[in-house]
Amino acid sequence: MLALEIIEFIPYLTKDTTKMKLRWAANLLLIFIGIFTAVLIAEIGLRLIGYSNPSFYKYDETLGSSLRPYAEGLYQKEGRAYVKINSDGLRDVEHTVAKPDNVFRIAVLGDSYAQGLQLDIDKLFWKLLENRLNSCPEFNSDKKIEIINFGVSGYGTGRELLMLRKKVWKYRPDMVILAFLTGNDVRDNSKELNRVYYIPYFELNENGKLVLDRSYLESSEYKMRLGLLADIMYGVGNQVRLMQLANDVRNWWRTYLRKKDIYDNNSQIELGLDDHIYLPPKSEVWKKAWAVTEALLLHMKQEIENKQSSFLLVSLSNGMQVTIDKESKNDFMAALGVDNLFYPDMRIQNFAQKHDIEVLTLAPELAKIATAKQIYMHGFKNTAMGSGHWNENGHRFAAQLIAKHLCKDDK
């Protein structure tokens, strides 16, 4: 009897189970539709307000990271520009690899200042410099001046040396200009200070010789960013504004935590820079960072000269060095216990002169111009004026000063 009752109950049980499954499926579908609608509204909203923060980078076995060929998008996190990366992974127009006979070619190495995401190309210092030198027969009257930009955000001197070897030499430049940023280039040459473990670094061995550390190739963070899946994710991320926002928030949080972890609690300098640079190094790690940096500069000079090319080292400026906000600058110097902010620039200049490296130090001159004209060289309408990267003023006057150095009659 019990068996018969169970058999008779099965159709009702099956019917209730089916109803339950349908109800769950309907609820899941509603949840999915709700999430999809919310995501769609958020995506539309971000597009309507003009938010855009595409990634222009890919992971690179030699350089750690590099610019992604043909990547493009609107950058407006700081300043505003529509950015296009050329076929060779350079933030520049297309250039033939073979150098025409009537061309004097200059290669520019640097970091985010040279990459210049904040402005259109025709407003960047190296493009303005190209125009000025082409109007200066005293520099080279026989040939057209062509400047190629190899700058990539986040690069220190070590990675710029690797860029020189990987991409620059095939273009056969007649001159190499290294745009050196004291605010973070020394730190970026040190794994201990930079705390980014998926890029290459140079170190000095016991004999004082530079040795390349490529252990980053074995790091899990580097490996997970390689391959087809990573390429797909980058491709989708460059189209979906919501993913760009999530990535932006993640990067901001990482930078904030990194700043808290590395710097003193009373550090006042902007994110991405380092106020230790304005003082003679005290700790062993900072002494080592300076030693590696100077060794890299000397090695770069020797390698460039071996290629029968000329070398110009240009040290740039940090926002606080050239700000017209006297109160902020004085408070900052008082907190550091210094009476000026040009220690790193003078150290680089003295080292260069000692080793017969042609050098141009921009920060003191830009500070004079900024004070005389009462203009900011750094900062944009959508950021804090006086901080961050060069704005149009910074790039314009930097180009003028470099052109004046190279072309003695440039006005």
Q: Which helix (H) or strand (E) holds 255?
A: helix 241-262
- Greatest Cα pair distance in the chain: 113
Average pLDDT score over residue span 126-139: 93
Q: How much is the pLDDT for 267?
A: 45
Residues 6+ apart with CB under 8 A from 126: 108, 114, 147, 149, 151, 177, 399
* CATH code for residues 57-406: 3.40.50.1110
Q: How much is the pLDDT for 25?
A: 75
Average pLDDT score over residue span 259-287: 69
Q: Residue 219 is which amino acid?
A: S
* Domain boundaries, given as residue ranges, for the chain: 57-406
Q: How far apart are CA 34 and CA 311, in angstroms?
A: 60
Q: Which helix (H) or strand (E) holds 347?
A: helix 343-354
- Is the predicted pLDDT of residue 410 greater than 90, yes or no? no
User: In which band, very low, low, confident or very high, does the pLDDT at 30 lie, cut at 50, 70 and 90?
Assistant: confident
Burial class (CB in 10 A: 0-12, 13-18, 19+), 227: exposed
Q: How much is the pLDDT for 281?
A: 93
- Is the predicted pLDDT of residue 219 greater than 90, yes or no? no
Q: How much is the pLDDT for 406?
A: 95
Q: How much is the pLDDT for 28?
A: 77
Q: How much is the pLDDT for 256?
A: 55
Average pLDDT score over residue span 123-131: 98
Residue with tokens 């017209």: 324
pTM, rounded to two decimals: 0.82
Q: What percent of the chain has pLDDT over 90?
A: 62
- Is the predicted pLDDT of residue 64 greater than 70, yes or no? yes
- Facing residues of 378 across strands? 390
What region, left, alpha or beta, does residue 309 occupy, with left being phi > 0 and alpha being psi -120 to 50 degrees?
beta
